[in-house]
Chain A
Amino acid sequence: MEEVKSNDSLILYIQNLFHDSADLVVHEVSWKNEISIVCFYNTMTDSADVNRQIEILRQRSIDDFPKWEGTAASSVGAFSESQLIENVTHGFVAVFFPSTNLLMTITIPTFEVRATAEPDNELVIRGSHEGFVESIDKNISLIRKHLSIPDLVVKDLRIGKETNTKVTYVYIESIADKEVIDIVKTRLENIDTPKVYSIGQIEDYLEDTVWSPFPQLLTTERPDRVVANILEGKVAVFMDQSPSALLGPVNFFSFYQTPDDFNGRVFVGSFFRILRLFSFLIAIFLPSFYIAVVGFHSEILPYELGVKVKTAIQFIPYRPIIEAMIVELFIEVIREATIRLPAPIGPTIGIVGGLVIGDAIVNAGLVSNLMVVIVAMTAISSFVVPSVEMNTTIRLIRFPFMLAATFFGFLGIAIGTLILFIHMMNRSSLNQPYLSPIVPFDPSRFKEVFFRTPYYKNNQQQKTFTFRAGKRKDGEGT
């Protein structure tokens, strides 16, 4: 900046620094004894608010307030070009005093943020209907609204050299596991990519392995879900401009719990949780079971049912696996189309695809009506999971089971089940066992998996794959 001689050339210099952007405001402001340069984006900050704040500060300066530049909305520090860029790009107002080489920051960004509506993909019947929005500050405020405690720690960092994206992780100091916090911090700090624009990218870097169909972090848009989880010692990661939070460490069974379990009655919550876990088995095994029965083990069917099955499939020109693939892929196409289409058209396509084309396929003799029933039941079962990520995973892993059933019948399903089980046992979430309490096997904790306990007892996550180390003690947590 030494070469900058006059305020005019300084303004020009700042304009060049921001490539003469149309929404950039740079102008001189007179103070009691000096002249400063004010700089901000008028698309991110309201000009009227800026004038009001500057007027307040100028009055404090005139009144000779000690440290007049320090208010709730402003602070001052040494000038640097990088600090100037950071302030302006974040929607702050930068006020540069060339004579003293100080930079004052006025924090009054005004972004357009949508209302905190309930997330469409995580609906609950009872309980809070708030959802996160695309503003990290607003999201954190929603968490703080639930937890008015000083133990709630919020840590910020910026990642991505080109996007300079703000990422925040939140935890409760007295409950969260220090090792987990260190892992999250280290993994976030080690993100070495110029562009970060999606929470999915962060998830890839935070996960223990991306080479698994199973999500190792729970994604949610619900503040109440985040609060419940951080009260159990988990860490929540937010990214600016994303309404989703990542929660970890989690285990497989966390994906089958919803806030409704705890908002409803004990028996009701437990029943529906067991039902969801049962639906996991249906979603994975039903099509492969059908293929195995039709292709290998038709003798297991009772006579009456066997006759019906044989009648239904006798004129189908394809093997059961082809038949299943046709219907499964057809269902996936309908689902994908329904998501991509505008809301008013989506349900129509669902009805046309599901009923009209489905009926036509059966009448044309391409697939049997039994197969349509099986695939429809499978699809519905997979949608019961209260997590979109786990839902897609389940839909994906049923295909290898269908292939295994085609080649080896029940033996293929048995072998596939063992391989799936071993794969899940090997997984971890932020270095903690994914299949806890099965790994390490701890029958005393099984009730937490299948039942909604009568009161919200916050438990710490199982920390290691080895028995004893990291086993929670009653009374730990809150």
Chain B
Amino acid sequence: MKISLSRVQFFLLLFITQTGSSFFSFPSPFIAATGRDAWLIFIVAGTIHYLLLLLYEKNYNYFSIGPYIGWLYKGYWLFICVCYLAYVDYTLAVWGFPETPPSIVIAVLVSVSLYANLSRAETVINLSVILIPLILLFMIFLQFAWKEFVWTNIFPIGEATGKQWGIGLLKAQIAFIGMELYLFFRKYIDMTQKIKGFPLFVYQSVWLLFFLISIFISLFYYTLTGLKMIPEPLLYLLKSQEVTFVERLDLFFLYIWTIWTIITVTIISFVALYVHRLHAKENRKRDTIIWHLLLIVIPLFFLTKGSVEKLNDVIIYVHLTFAFIIPIIVITVNRRKVK
């Protein structure tokens, strides 16, 4: 499979994967764990994110994995997709389809990824373009709530304890999920396009700003006690917005978020199948179908509220393994081999 990416395509792919499913659910547990200083803690977490990106950029050439590590990553991505699908199905069941069998809803969602992954590589790579106008709309409508913002909610600053900082930095990892794709796609970027330096900084800033906005809006709009009771604060915020032309803005954005998640699952499935093809004998159609059958079947075992919450707790630690520990080990080993 030959892929050639532009800088814009690469960063868009990474951004959509990183913001994908977690964007709506991220602020609530993060602020619950960190309190008013959530934004400060996230800025520090963002710095770690940037350092990690710089590390990836410096060493992506050394990130070459064998079949065993490949299988570990495939398992990780399967886990991520299952978590996302279970969560989106659970949310859809609560908000829109309480009576529809979950297997049907998940099959419908997964069918999009199957179709895209059976198409040419460029289709998956460019699929996220459809989200650009939708994300802009989403950000615009979020700002409609500004009249009800209580700006003083973020004060006093600097009250978070050491424990809150620790938990906060850990919870912030939800926003990092998907960043390991940097290591897999970086080498396919057109050689004439610069990534190091300003372009990478711009990407980091956009990513940081995006999540910071969600944290600030949640802090401004809700009290800390209120936030603990609301699993998707941004969705509830949109629900309470009064606009003349529509009564329930949140429903539109629920389905925009669903599209967002489907595209994230599609991209992750694409990279998993791509890694599979690096080491396994190629039977593209069969492998793609098997992968998507797994995506339909496995989430069905995790559709309760308890299971979804448990998955959300575990996902951070699994992510740390695959975004920090394994890449550092692989890069170190390969660097030594080269020396």
Inter-subunit contact A415/B112 (CB<8 Å): yes
Whether, in the assembled complex, A211 has its beta carbon less than 8 Å from a beta carbon of chain B, the answer is no
Chain B residues with CB under 8 A of A299: 247-248, 251
Q: Please, how many angstroms separate the alpha-carbon atoms of A439 and B6 in the complex?
A: 11
Segment touching A, from B68-76, B165-173, B254-262: B254-262
Whether, in the assembled complex, A414 has its beta carbon less than 8 Å from a beta carbon of chain B, the answer is yes
Given contacts A296-B96, A301-B246, contact A467 B251 (CB under 8 A): no
Whether, in the assembled complex, A111 has its beta carbon less than 8 Å from a beta carbon of chain B, the answer is no
Inter-subunit contact B9/A467 (CB<8 Å): yes
Across the two chains, which residue of chain A brings its CB closest to B245? A302
Whether, in the assembled complex, B225 has its beta carbon less than 8 Å from a beta carbon of chain A, the answer is no
Segment touching A, from B17-25, B37-45, B117-125, B156-164: B117-125
Across the two chains, which residue of chain B brings its CB closest to A306? B247
Whether, in the assembled complex, B229 has its beta carbon less than 8 Å from a beta carbon of chain A, the answer is no
Given contacts A411-B92, A421-B130, A466-B122, contact A297 B115 (CB under 8 A): no
Across the two chains, which residue of chain A brings its CB closest to B105? A411
Q: Please, how many angstroms separate the alpha-carbon atoms of A297 and B95 in the complex?
A: 11
Whether, in the assembled complex, B65 has its beta carbon less than 8 Å from a beta carbon of chain A, the answer is no
Inter-subunit contact A441/B4 (CB<8 Å): no
Across the two chains, which residue of chain B brings its CB closest to A465? B122
Inter-subunit contact A425/B246 (CB<8 Å): no
Inter-subunit contact B9/A411 (CB<8 Å): no
Chain A residues with CB under 8 A of B123: 422, 425-426, 439
What is the distance, in angstroms, from A180's C-beta to the closest C-beta of chain B? 19
Q: Please, how many angstroms separate the alpha-carbon atoms of A306 and B100 in the complex?
A: 25
Among candidates B5, B108, B126, B262, residue contacting A408 with C-beta atoms closer than 8 Å: B108
Whether, in the assembled complex, A153 has its beta carbon less than 8 Å from a beta carbon of chain B, the answer is no
What is the distance, in angstroms, from B193's C-beta to the closest C-beta of chain A? 9
Chain A residues with CB under 8 A of B111: 415, 419
Interface of B, helix, strand, loop or mixed by DSSP: helix
Among candidates A303, A415, A425, A465, residue contacting B127 with C-beta atoms closer than 8 Å: A425
Chain A residues with CB under 8 A of B97: 408, 411
Across the two chains, which residue of chain B brings its CB closest to A418? B112
Whether, in the assembled complex, A396 has its beta carbon less than 8 Å from a beta carbon of chain B, the answer is no
Instruction: Mark A411-432 against chain B: 1 for CB-CB distance below 8 A, else 0.
Output: 1011101110110011000000
Inter-subunit contact A425/B244 (CB<8 Å): no
Instruction: Mark A445-475 against chain B: 1 for CB-CB distance below 8 A, else 0.
Output: 0000000000000000000011111000000
Chain B residues with CB under 8 A of A418: 112, 127, 130, 259, 262-263
Whether, in the assembled complex, B58 has its beta carbon less than 8 Å from a beta carbon of chain A, the answer is no
Inter-subunit contact B252/A410 (CB<8 Å): yes
Residue with the greatest number of chain B CB neighbours at <10 A, chosen from A299, A440, A467: A467
Whether, in the assembled complex, A156 has its beta carbon less than 8 Å from a beta carbon of chain B, the answer is no
Inter-subunit contact A421/B127 (CB<8 Å): yes
Whether, in the assembled complex, A48 has its beta carbon less than 8 Å from a beta carbon of chain B, the answer is no
What is the distance, in angstroms, from B160's C-beta to the closest C-beta of chain A? 39
Q: Please, how many angstroms separate the alpha-carbon atoms of A296 and B97 in the complex?
A: 10
Whether, in the assembled complex, B8 has its beta carbon less than 8 Å from a beta carbon of chain A, the answer is yes
Among candidates A300, A410, A415, A417, residue contacting B246 with C-beta atoms closer than 8 Å: A300
Chain A residues with CB under 8 A of B2: 466
Chain B residues with CB under 8 A of A415: 108-109, 111-112, 262
Instruction: Mark B258-280 against chain A: 1 for CB-CB distance below 8 A, else 0.
Output: 11001100000000000000000
Whether, in the assembled complex, A183 has its beta carbon less than 8 Å from a beta carbon of chain B, the answer is no
Inter-subunit contact A301/B112 (CB<8 Å): no
What is the distance, in angstroms, from A362's C-beta to the closest C-beta of chain B? 25
Inter-subunit contact A440/B126 (CB<8 Å): yes
Q: Please, how many angstroms separate the alpha-carbon atoms of A419 and B126 in the complex?
A: 14
Whether, in the assembled complex, B129 has its beta carbon less than 8 Å from a beta carbon of chain A, the answer is yes
Residue with the greatest number of chain B CB neighbours at <10 A, chosen from A297, A302, A441, A469: A441
Q: Please, how many angstroms separate the alpha-carbon atoms of A433 and B120 in the complex?
A: 12
Q: Please, how many angstroms separate the alpha-carbon atoms of A283 and B92 in the complex?
A: 28
Instruction: Mark A393-415 against chain B: 1 for CB-CB distance below 8 A, else 0.
Output: 00000000000000011110111
Inter-subunit contact B119/A443 (CB<8 Å): no
What is the distance, in angstroms, from B102's C-beta to the closest C-beta of chain A? 13
Inter-subunit contact A411/B258 (CB<8 Å): yes
For chain A, residues 45 to 96, give those with C-beta under 8 angstroms from any C-beta of chain B.
none
Whether, in the assembled complex, A380 has its beta carbon less than 8 Å from a beta carbon of chain B, the answer is no
Instruction: Mark A270-296 against chain B: 1 for CB-CB distance below 8 A, else 0.
Output: 000000000000000000000000001
For chain B, residues 72 to 98, give those with C-beta under 8 angstroms from any C-beta of chain A.
92, 96-97
Inter-subunit contact B120/A441 (CB<8 Å): no
Residue with the greatest number of chain B CB neighbours at <10 A, chosen from A300, A410, A422: A422
Whether, in the assembled complex, B179 has its beta carbon less than 8 Å from a beta carbon of chain A, the answer is no
Inter-subunit contact B126/A439 (CB<8 Å): yes
Q: Please, how many angstroms separate the alpha-carbon atoms of A388 and B295 in the complex?
A: 42
Whether, in the assembled complex, B331 has its beta carbon less than 8 Å from a beta carbon of chain A, the answer is no
Inter-subunit contact B251/A300 (CB<8 Å): yes
Given contacts A296-B96, A409-B96, A468-B190, contact A441 B247 (CB under 8 A): no
Whether, in the assembled complex, B175 has its beta carbon less than 8 Å from a beta carbon of chain A, the answer is no
Among candidates B109, B115, B190, B254, residue contacting A467 with C-beta atoms closer than 8 Å: B190
Among candidates B9, B112, B127, B248, residue contacting A300 with C-beta atoms closer than 8 Å: B248
Chain B residues with CB under 8 A of A443: 8
Q: Please, how many angstroms separate the alpha-carbon atoms of A116 and B306 in the complex?
A: 74
23 contacts between A and B (CB under 8 A): A296-B96, A297-B96, A299-B251, A300-B246, A301-B247, A302-B245, A302-B247, A306-B247, A410-B252, A410-B254, A411-B92, A411-B258, A414-B259, A415-B111, A421-B127, A425-B127, A426-B120, A433-B122, A441-B129, A442-B8, A466-B2, A466-B122, A467-B6
User: Which 8 pairs of residues, A with B, have the shortest CB-CB distance?
Assistant: A465-B122, A467-B6, A300-B248, A414-B255, A425-B123, A410-B255, A466-B4, A439-B126
With A433-B122, A441-B125 already in contact, 12 other A-B pairs whose C-beta atoms are closer than 8 Å:
A297-B251, A301-B246, A302-B246, A409-B96, A410-B255, A411-B92, A426-B120, A441-B8, A442-B8, A466-B4, A468-B4, A469-B4
